């Protein structure tokens, strides 16, 4: 049997995993209908992690009710009910669901295309409108490896003007050990929640006066600026120049770029001197205007322009989530202008930059090639050429990818980089987008080797994506215990006795003079308490100083993870600290 066949009916196969979870959603719906027959069924799909079912219940589902539903699901699994598929003509299907008192299913059937096949799946006494596929029996599901994880409000068909439903989420695995590991990972994720740690560590604040507009606090600004300093260094190394474009530009520009037609519902607008303007939701048009400020020759290309641009997007209040989904954020954009024969080399140059940056944070990645969406501009032949160029560029680097059909930008195909953090969760941060459309719309030109004017090709790319979101990602990735080079406070000096205060201040001044970030705790508290609090603040190094240290000119060194490192001279400690910071080590 081939390796592919061996994986076909395991969770290693995404299709099987989706089918397993989809069947679980039907088992959950059956359990709900057994226990609470008055509940009306809406929809119940599988999702990236697990499944859910939207339900119209006259009473809210309590934790006790969720436990009862879980128990009933386990019974259904033990019953080993066969899943049987059937089809009905539209009229019969509508009548059938009307008789069962399921108005949401009736609406779904009415909205299906005229030529749609209307199929149902039956298991025991339960039958549901569904296109499938499903497992052949409820006995395939391990009842002791099912967990209902949450119950939230959800609008019918995502429309806030429609009925409010209750959405029960669940997760299931073929083995209980896998469920236990998943639940532990979820608990660890809660402990690492960037909103919780951001508050505890004094990094940022979210306030009612500005929903979706984060406030960065002093320590958060140190973290942010250290990150951006590194960003600037690595971009200089890879041949980029930095620009800045205005936050507000006239509406005509956004019509010209095509963004108005595709993003106007997410844009903030204003009127200046009687003319319509928009707050930029992305940096691209500004980058093209900068390109047009002077003539260019083929000798200037590739021209790599990077921008840390503040953008604003009108996100719905229900979608806001800490730093992960905000209404204003700094996008680390770059726009690369090049000739057609430079495309593959430039894509590879960007990938090498990505490799360097992500490795510093200990983040691995997977690549998706996103192809032409239905809503696009430009000819299919151009899209096909650009898509093949993206594929060849990374294939020649020996990198693997998966295809994400129809998810390209409206102006071109793209490579999306999905980063894996320390808990195995993935985050889409980096992207490389090829664009042959915007240069045409903005009439961008360069003089070629033949003395004639030519149209450049563009790459849009981000490494970190939203700076705010990336900070949220690394807060959770490192659980707030940032590497020494990135930590807002690198050294906390703790005094045992007030007699050591002056020596502690001298040590701090020596370290600060060499560029290290230092805090001194001179409080008249027991040293054990000071150490515990410094541990909670996740500062990498603690220097404990008392009478002996002051007399000998040494320091007792502690590390937040490694504990007591012993007594050493300040010079020796400084040398170690400098090596960690200069190398951007993971410690």
Q: What is the pLDDT of residues 417-446, one digit of tens each?
A: 999 998 888 898 999 999 888 898 899 999
Q: Which among 562, 536, 420, 426 is positioned nearest to 481, based on CA atoms?
A: 536
Provide, rounded to the nearest whole percent, the portion of the chain with pLDDT above 70: 98
How many Å apart are CA 275 and CA 359, to the nearest integer?
47
Phi, psi of 89 (to 5 degrees): -65, 155
| 8-state DSSP, 111 | T
Computed on alpha carbons and rounded to an integer, the radius of gyration of the chain in Å comes to 29
Per-residue pLDDT of 1-55, as tens digits, reads 334 444 556 888 889 999 999 999 999 999 999 999 999 999 999 998 999 999 9
Closest CA to 262 of 418, 387, 438: 438
Angle at 37 between CA 34 and CA 38, to 5 degrees: 160
Q: Is the pLDDT of residue 499 over 80?
A: yes
Those residues whose C-beta lies under 8 Å from the C-beta of residue 382, and which sit 6 or more positions away, are 436
CATH topology (fold) of 491-582? Rossmann fold (3.40.50)
pLDDT in the model for residue 531 = 95
Q: Taken in order 97, 98, 99, 101, is the CA torsion positive or negative?
A: positive
- Give me the mean pLDDT over the 350-367 stretch: 96
Check residue 8 and give its pLDDT: 58
Residue 409 has pLDDT above 90, yes or no: no
CATH assignment of 3-187, among 3.30.980.10, 1.10.3720.10, 3.30.70.1900, 3.40.50.2300: 3.30.980.10
Q: 12-21, 164-173, 349-358, 569-578: which range is least confident on average?
A: 12-21
pLDDT at 262: 76
Query: Which residues are CB-neighbours of 350 under 8 A, at least 6 positions away?
Result: 336, 432, 459, 461
pLDDT tens digit string along 71-94?
999 999 999 999 999 999 999 999
Q: Tokens representing 484? A: 């020494």
Topology alike, domains 3-187 and 227-477 = no
- Residues whose CB falls within 8 Å of the CB of residue 351, separated by 6 or more in sequence, listed in order: 393, 394, 397, 399, 415, 432
CATH 1.20.272.10, applies to 227-477: no
As a whole number of angstroms, the distance between CA 108 and CA 130 comes to 10
What is the spatial distance between Cα 365 and Cα 354, in angstroms, rounded to a whole number? 10
Q: Where are the domains of the chain?
A: 3-187, 227-477, 491-582
Catalytic residues: 284, 313, 331, 333, 335, 414, 460
| Mean pLDDT, residues 160-168 | 93
């Amino acid at each position: 049997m081939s390796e592919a066949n061996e994986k076909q009916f395991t969770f290693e196969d995404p299709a099987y995993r989706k089918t397993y979870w989809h069947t679980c959603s039907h088992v959950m719906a059956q359990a709900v209908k057994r226990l609470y027959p008055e509940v009306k069924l809406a929809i119940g799909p599988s999702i990236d992690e697990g499944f859910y079912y939207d339900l119209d219940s006259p009473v809210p589902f309590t934790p006790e009710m969720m436990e009862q539903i879980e128990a009933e699901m386990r019974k259904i699994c033990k019953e080993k009910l066969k899943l049987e598929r059937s089809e009905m003509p539209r009229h019969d299907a509508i009548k059938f669901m009307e008789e069962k008192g399921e108005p949401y299913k009736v609406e779904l059937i009415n909205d299906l295309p005229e030529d749609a096949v209307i199929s149902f799946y039956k298991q025991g006494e339960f039958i549901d409108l569904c296109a499938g596929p499903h497992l052949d029996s409820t006995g395939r599901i391990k009842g002791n490896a099912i967990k209902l994880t949450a119950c939230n409000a959800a609008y019918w068909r995502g429309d806030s003007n429609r009925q409010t439903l209750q959405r029960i989420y669940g997760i299931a695995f073929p083995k209980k050990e896998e469920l236990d590991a998943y639940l532990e990972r979820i608990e660890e994720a809660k402990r690492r929640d960037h909103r919780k740690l951001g508050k505890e560590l004094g990094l940022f604040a979210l306030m009612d006066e500005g929903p979706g507009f984060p406030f960065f606090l002093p320590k958060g600004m140190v973290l942010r600026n250290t990150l951006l300093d590194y960003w600037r260094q690595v971009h200089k190394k890879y041949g980029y120049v930095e620009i800045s474009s205005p936050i507000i530009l006239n509406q005509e520009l956004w019509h010209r770029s095509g963004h108005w037609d595709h993003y106007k519902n997410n844009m903030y607008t204003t009127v200046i001197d009687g003319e319509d303007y928009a707050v930029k939701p992305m940096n691209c048009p500004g980058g093209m205007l900068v390109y047009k400020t002077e003539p260019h020759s083929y000798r200037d290309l590739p021209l790599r322009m990077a921008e840390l641009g503040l953008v604003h997007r009108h996100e719905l209040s229900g979608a806001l989530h800490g730093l992960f989904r905000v209404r204003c954020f700094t996008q680390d954009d770059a726009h690369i202008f090049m000739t057609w024969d430079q495309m593959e080399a430039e894509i590879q140059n960007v990938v090498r930059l990505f490799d360097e940056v992500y490795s510093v944070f200990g983040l691995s990645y997977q690549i998706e090639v996103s192809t032409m969406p239905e809503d696009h501009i430009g000819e299919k032949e151009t899209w096909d050429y650009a898509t093949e160029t993206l594929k060849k560029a990374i294939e020649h680097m020996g990198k693997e990818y998966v295809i994400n059909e129809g998810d390209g930008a409206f102006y071109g195909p793209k490579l999306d980089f999905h980063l894996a953090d320390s808990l195995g969760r993935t985050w889409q941060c980096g992207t490389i987008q090829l664009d042959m459309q915007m240069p045409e719309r903005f009439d961008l030109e360069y003089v070629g080797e033949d003395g004639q004017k030519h149209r450049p090709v563009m790459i849009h790319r981000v490494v970190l994506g939203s700076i705010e979101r990336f900070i949220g990602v690394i807060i959770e990735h490192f659980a707030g215990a940032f590497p020494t080079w990135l930590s807002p406070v690198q050294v906390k000096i703790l005094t045992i006795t007030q007699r050591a205060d002056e020596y502690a201040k001298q040590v701090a001044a020596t370290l600060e003079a060499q560029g290290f970030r230092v805090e001194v705790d001179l409080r008249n508290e027991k040293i054990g308490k000071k150490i515990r609090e410094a541990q909670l603040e996740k500062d990498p190094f603690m220097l404990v100083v008392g009478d002996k240290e002051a007399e000998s000119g040494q320091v007792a060194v502690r590390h937040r993870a490694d504990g007591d490192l012993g007594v050493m001279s300040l010079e020796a400690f400084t040398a170690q600290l400098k090596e960690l910071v200069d190398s951007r080590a993971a410690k």
